[in-house]
Amino acid sequence: MIFFSTFQWYLTMIFFCLDLNSIYFFYQINKTSNPINNYHRIMRYLSIFWFINCVWRSIFPALYLQRFVFYDIVLNSILVNRTFAFIGEMCWISQIVIVMISISYTLNNRSLIHRIIKYIGYLSIYTYFIAELMSYYNTATKNQLWCVFEIAMDSISLIILFPSIIYLVFKCKDKYYESNGKKFLIFMSLFSIIYPLYNFSIMIPMYLERYKQDTQNNTTYLNFWDGIKDAGITRIKTHDFDDWKDDCIWMFLYFYFGSIMGLWMMTGPTINLIKIKD
């Protein structure tokens, strides 16, 4: 999708991320109103927190390091936005790992393979958590280089999962159309490649270019605690498309398609027990 003005981008994002996804959200909420076990209950709660993050940040978009906000109100502050992102994104990566571990348990029970997959999942969550800490650091200091490190760690957290996902794809005998679990595995086998490729080919070069410009301009970075305070109070309201245009694509993809992905996992994808491959 091509955006040509700030308000066209913003209204499109509101329509897709808030209006359309809210319909899907309430559909999934109703569908999972009586979770059958702790797995489905946990997936429901994680999806809700992830959806709130996506909706909040589509209504109140912000660019952290530039301190750009759409509305000059506390609800749109950089620190509030970043904290919603932290909670939501940790719920999102946890959803992915929990589904993978659940499917692995169904296929492998308590075997060594299952334990390896489980600990790989934990490593992915830990890696993503480190990326979140890096995000707080770059938000506070306004150092674009730490955005590069953050995005790289985000990507690594998905790359870590790829071998386990491929193993589970071939281990599961379900046809694509027979179970949500098989659909999830096939989707993740593609997503865990496309997501890192997008980050390394588009996002990281963008942040490296910004870091290069800051270096040429002799930008002075904030220390962490002063930066955290600054992120809580400094808001530069702007509707200038030049300020948003480099980031509007990833925001739309994140808040719309990312939200759909999290809501899809709300039902707790599973596979058919009777078709486990020996």
| Per-residue 3-state assignment (H helix, E strand, C coil) for 148-194 | HHHHHHHHHHHHCCHHHHHHHHHHECCCHHHCHHHHHHHHHHHHHHH
pLDDT of 274 over the 90 cut = no
pTM confidence score: 0.94
The torsion defined by the Cα of 149, 264, 184 and 36, in degrees rounded to 10, comes to 120
Report how far residue 252's alpha carbon sits from residue 9's, in angstroms, rounded to the nearest whole number: 8
Is residue 80 within 8 Å of residue 228, measured between CB atoms? no
pLDDT at 36: 87
Q: What is the pLDDT of residues 6-36, one digit of tens each?
A: 999 999 999 999 999 999 999 999 999 998 8
Q: What's the mean per-residue pLDDT of the chain? A: 94
Q: Which residues contact 222 (CB under 8 A, 6 or more apart)?
A: 140, 141, 142, 230
Residue 171 CB coordination number (10 Å) = 18
Give whole-number Cα distances, 115 to 39, 102, 126, in Å. Answer: 18, 12, 17
Residues comprising the chain, all counted? 278
pLDDT at 178: 76
Give whole-number Cα distances, 277 to 70, 98, 180, in Å. Answer: 52, 21, 17
Region 84-101 average pLDDT? 98
Q: What is the pLDDT of residues 190-217, one digit of tens each?
A: 999 999 999 999 999 999 999 999 999 9
pLDDT of 278 over the 70 cut = no
Four-residue CA torsion sign, 64, 65, 70, 72 = positive
Region 96-120 average pLDDT? 93
Token output for 238 = 């702007």
Strand-pair partners of 276: 172
Element (H, E) at 48: helix 38-59
pLDDT at 26: 96
Name the residue with higher pLDDT: 113 or 178: 113
Report how far residue 272's alpha carbon sits from residue 1's, in angstroms, rounded to the nearest whole number: 37
Q: Are strands 68-69 and 62-63 parallel, antiparallel or unpaired?
A: antiparallel
pLDDT at 1: 55
Is residue 11 within 8 Å of residue 61, measured between CB atoms? no
pLDDT of 64 over the 70 cut = yes
pLDDT at 3: 87
Phi, psi of 69 (to 5 degrees): -135, 160
The helix-helix angle for 78-108 and 224-233 (nearest 10°) equals: 110
The torsion defined by the Cα of 137, 143, 149 and 154, in degrees rounded to 10, comes to 60
